[in-house]
């Protein structure tokens, strides 16, 4: 994994996610509602190439009575991201793209639209 490849240590990987979040415009970050960001080494075995996943109820699907729910989760998977990148800069870019991609799902933006916008 990344420490073997010399790209990012686990701590640096988490810092890269924080840096990616810092790049998201504050007006957009202010609209994130009840979301936690997690890092896991590997995705589920049935989807080994998965870079990240949004697990929750998009803002566009929440009813007015929505509340008191557990936080939505955005999980970024270290292994596939590290394996697909040739160097540190590419990995940092892919982490940022993955974070933005999953945040977009929180806002109800579907996969096809993300691909049209170049975030797929």
Task: Indicate the domain borders of the chain.
Answer: 2-116
- Binned at pLDDT 50, 70 and 90, residue 120 comes out as low
Q: Which residues is 105 bridged to in the sheet?
A: none
Q: What is the CATH number of domain 2-116?
A: 3.30.2010.20
Angstrom distance (rounded) from CA 103 to CA 54:
8
Across the beta sheet with 35-40, the strand order is 35-40, 72-77, 52-55
- Binned at pLDDT 50, 70 and 90, residue 66 comes out as low
Q: Write down the pTM of the prediction.
A: 0.83
Q: What is the per-residue pLDDT across 18-56, written as a single tens digit (0 to 9) for each?
A: 999 999 888 888 888 789 999 999 999 999 999 999 998
């Amino acid at each position: 994994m990344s420490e073997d490849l010399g790209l990012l240590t686990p701590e640096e990987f988490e810092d890269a996610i924080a840096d990616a979040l810092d790049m998201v415009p504050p007006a957009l970050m202010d609209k994130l509602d009840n979301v936690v960001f997690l890092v896991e080494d590997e995705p589920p075995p049935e989807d080994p190439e998965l870079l990240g996943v949004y697990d929750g109820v998009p803002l566009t699907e929440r009813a007015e009575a929505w509340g008191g729910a557990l936080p939505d989760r955005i999980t970024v998977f270290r292994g596939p991201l590290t394996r697909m990148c040739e160097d540190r800069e590419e990995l940092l870019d892919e982490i940022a793209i993955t974070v933005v991609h999953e945040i977009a799902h929180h806002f109800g933006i579907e996969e096809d639209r993300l691909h049209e916008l170049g975030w797929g």
